[in-house]
A and B are shown apart, each in its own frame.
Chain A
Amino acid sequence: MHIPDGYLSPSTCAVMYGGALPFWTFAARRLRQSVGSRLVPLLSVFAAFSFVVMMFNLPLPGGTTGHAVGMGIGAIVLGPWAAMLAISIALLIQALFFGDGGITAYGANCFNMAIVGSLVSYGIYRAFAGHSPLTAPRRVFAAGCAGYVAINVSALLAAIEFGIQPLLFHDAAGAPLYAPYPLRIAIPAMLVGHLTFAGIAELIISAGVVAWLQRAEPALLARSAPNAVVTLGKATASGRESLRRLWVALAALMILTPLGLLAAGTAWGEWSAKQFQDPANRRAIAAASFQTEVPSRAPAGLEKLSTLWTAPFPAYAPPFLKSASLGYILSAVLGTGLIIAACLGFGWGARLLAARF
């Protein structure tokens, strides 16, 4: 992931420095406003942490090990702006003193990992975690997803930067002057390693650290969860109240489902193959389609695919029920039940994942 010198042309490097600069400036300005003079020690220590965590050998499923960048953790604990500066500082120390990542490619490395990585992981974490309490297993799941997706987005960016090199920079005979592989090779080559090993390493460290912090120091997760309910007791009480209202609303909607029978005709575009043959239906289709001429028979693809799957309750009317209204209500109950079961299954999977890490 750390791009060395010589892989990107100087102009690409300059563009990447140019792309990173506004983010660094904005992040520094924003942090100065929020943390003031604490900025210097906070960034220093967290950059040191980012550096050290990159040295961790993480045990991966299958018996191998891998290194993580820690972009997910940084964004979750400190927020994206502090994380992008701290990781940029860690990358500079790595490039300058340890030869890990190039000096000319430093802007690209920062853009891919520190800037985009932090923003993507923060966005995904916030979106997936929602307003759940700080100690909810959902946050562990969200952190894992954030780390996994962020490192893959970073890898994709690096692959694109590699992949455009042979298109833009080659000598008169066509020999590539920098990274030699085009996009069709660079993207899969980069993503294979990151979708598997590096992505899993990032997932493990992000989800694992959030799970640990939930048990040991949940307050450290508060910065990236401004709307989360901090007190577990309150969360449970307000959660129960919200849940009760939800059940009532759901029951009311189920009872009201036969209202759908009041609507005349078929929903536009949801015609069956048979309806194309019936003259009354054809007139209705034409009327609903600005009098556009309706084909004499159903499109071949519709005819072919419509026989592939027959729904157990066609048109929300189970064949064994005579009453259409009852059929509608029964379909609503069954459909809602299936969705709730799927959500419970999803939650159980998330808890299982959280417990494993």
Chain B
Amino acid sequence: MSSRSFLERSLASFVAIIEQAIVAEEFARRDGFLQKLDPRVKLGGFLALIFVSVATHNLAIVAATFFLATALAFFSEISLSALALRAWLPVALFTGVIAMPALFLTPGPALIRAPMITANGLRAATFLIGRAETAATCALILVLSTKWPHLLHALRALRLPRAVIVVLGMTQRYIFFLLRAAQDLFAARRSRIIAPLDGRTRRHLAAANAGVLISRSLDLSGEVYAAMQARGFRGEIHTLEALRMRPNDWLALTLFLAVAVTLFWVGGH
């Protein structure tokens, strides 16, 4: 592996994160079914669906939850290709690799003799992949249909302390600030490399970049604190409670919960 590819891989990771955030913001601005709902309704609804997909002991219920979530994405102008690229494919690859040996290693009656695949193994692997795909799809649709600040605000509905919500909001902003700083560090270094670096120098470079970033982070936290104090911050946390539930939101929440309870009940748990 050349030193360039190590730097480029890191740069690609940073760009991918920024790109994901931009794409999410773009989907969240569309005029679809989910985008019109109060973020608290979506948060509650999708958390309920994720819980159903994880808790049920019935594969048909996992499949039904998956298709329901996909249908909601379809009516919310969230493209299936976005779901496939960001959830279905990565989960299939990651969990698929993990689940594959279960086909052969799980004891039980044989389904296929050569190679020996057991019925229990197939069921276990399907459960694992099905649950992971469904939960990841629900989480992704929630993020793609909701602006980040709104989603953070909706977390208040889960009775998370105000301080946590404020920290989450600030963290989200500083992630992009530090990503940009890291991107600049790596890009500056890459532009000055004219010969391949040996392994030791590459490791030294990565650690130095992390060190610079940690130092900047702590400086930044001091500056942010000074700025907060200058604006009157004395430790009390206040947030704007601008969200208002409309009749449509109540209806959607009722539907979400009714569907989740029904699926849970039909599934036998």
- Min CB–CB distance B252 → chain A (angstroms): 20
B78 at the interface (CB under 8 A from A): no
Q: Is the CB of B106 within 8 A of A98?
A: no
B87 at the interface (CB under 8 A from A): yes
Query: Which residues of A from 1 to 35 have beta carbons under 8 Å from B?
Result: 4-7, 9-10, 13, 28
- Min CB–CB distance A189 → chain B (angstroms): 9
Most buried by B among A57, A208, A217: A57
A102 at the interface (CB under 8 A from B): yes
Alpha-carbon distance A6/B51, docked complex (angstroms): 9
Alpha-carbon distance A227/B135, docked complex (angstroms): 48
Which stretch of A88-96, A113-121, A288-296 is in the interface? Answer: A88-96
Q: Mark B85-114, 1 if CB is under 8 A from A, else 0.
A: 011001100110001011001111000000
Q: Is the CB of B225 within 8 A of A209?
A: no
Contact with A174, one of B90, B108, B170 (Cβ below 8 angstroms): B108
Kindly report which residue of chain A lies nearest to residue B13, judged by CB atoms: A55
Q: Is the CB of B131 within 8 A of A356?
A: no
Residues of B with C-beta under 8 A to A217:
215
B208 at the interface (CB under 8 A from A): yes
A183 at the interface (CB under 8 A from B): no
A-B contact count (CB 8 A): 263
A63 at the interface (CB under 8 A from B): yes
Q: Is the CB of A175 within 8 A of B215?
A: no
Query: Which residues of A from 39 to 85 have beta carbons under 8 Å from B?
Result: 39-49, 51-53, 55-59, 61, 63-65, 70, 73, 77
- Min CB–CB distance B160 → chain A (angstroms): 10
Contact with A208, one of B57, B207, B217 (Cβ below 8 angstroms): B207
A204 at the interface (CB under 8 A from B): yes
Alpha-carbon distance A178/B125, docked complex (angstroms): 9
Most buried by B among A36, A42, A53, A55: A55
Q: Is the CB of B225 within 8 A of A211?
A: no
Q: Is the CB of A45 within 8 A of B221?
A: yes
B27 at the interface (CB under 8 A from A): no
Q: Is the CB of B6 within 8 A of A57?
A: yes
A44-B171, A44-B221 known; A58+B206 contact, CB < 8 A: yes
Q: Is the CB of B203 within 8 A of A58?
A: yes
Residues of A with C-beta under 8 A to B213:
49, 52-53
Interface size on A, residues (CB 8 A): 74
A6-B54, A10-B51 known; A41+B228 contact, CB < 8 A: yes
Query: Which residues of B from 201 to 221 have beta carbons under 8 Å from A?
Result: 202-204, 206-215, 217-218, 220-221
- Min CB–CB distance A198 → chain B (angstroms): 15
- Min CB–CB distance B52 → chain A (angstroms): 10
Alpha-carbon distance A41/B220, docked complex (angstroms): 9
Q: Is the CB of A59 within 8 A of B105?
A: no
Q: Mark A161-180, 1 if CB is under 8 A from B, else 0.
A: 00000100001011111111
Query: Which residues of B from 99 to 154 have beta carbons under 8 Å from A?
Result: 99, 101-102, 105-108, 119-121, 123-125, 127-128, 130-132, 134-136, 139-140, 143, 148, 151
Q: Is the CB of A37 within 8 A of B234?
A: yes
Q: Is the CB of B233 within 8 A of A45?
A: no
Residues of B with C-beta under 8 A to A175:
106, 108, 119-121, 123-124, 127
Most buried by A among B57, B202, B203: B203
Alpha-carbon distance A89/B166, docked complex (angstroms): 11
A347 at the interface (CB under 8 A from B): no
Residues of A with C-beta under 8 A to B202:
59
Q: Is the CB of A46 within 8 A of B14?
A: no
B163 at the interface (CB under 8 A from A): yes
Alpha-carbon distance A34/B222, docked complex (angstroms): 15
Residues of A with C-beta under 8 A to B199:
59, 61, 63
B53 at the interface (CB under 8 A from A): yes
A204-B206, A212-B211 known; A45+B228 contact, CB < 8 A: no
Q: Is the CB of A93 within 8 A of B217?
A: no
- Interface, chain B (partner A; CB < 8 A): 1, 3, 6, 9-10, 13-14, 17, 20-21, 24, 47, 50-51, 53-55, 57, 86-87, 90-91, 94-95, 99, 101-102, 105-108, 119-121, 123-125, 127-128, 130-132, 134-136, 139-140, 143, 148, 151, 163-164, 166-168, 170-175, 177-179, 182, 199-200, 202-204, 206-215, 217-218, 220-222, 224-225, 228-229, 233-235, 237
For the complex of A and B, the 4 pairs showing the least CB-CB separation, nearest first, are: A208-B207, A6-B131, A5-B135, A212-B211
> Can you list 10 A-B contacts with CB-CB less than 8 angstroms, sorted by A residue number?
A40-B228, A41-B228, A52-B175, A53-B213, A63-B1, A89-B167, A93-B172, A95-B139, A103-B139, A176-B102
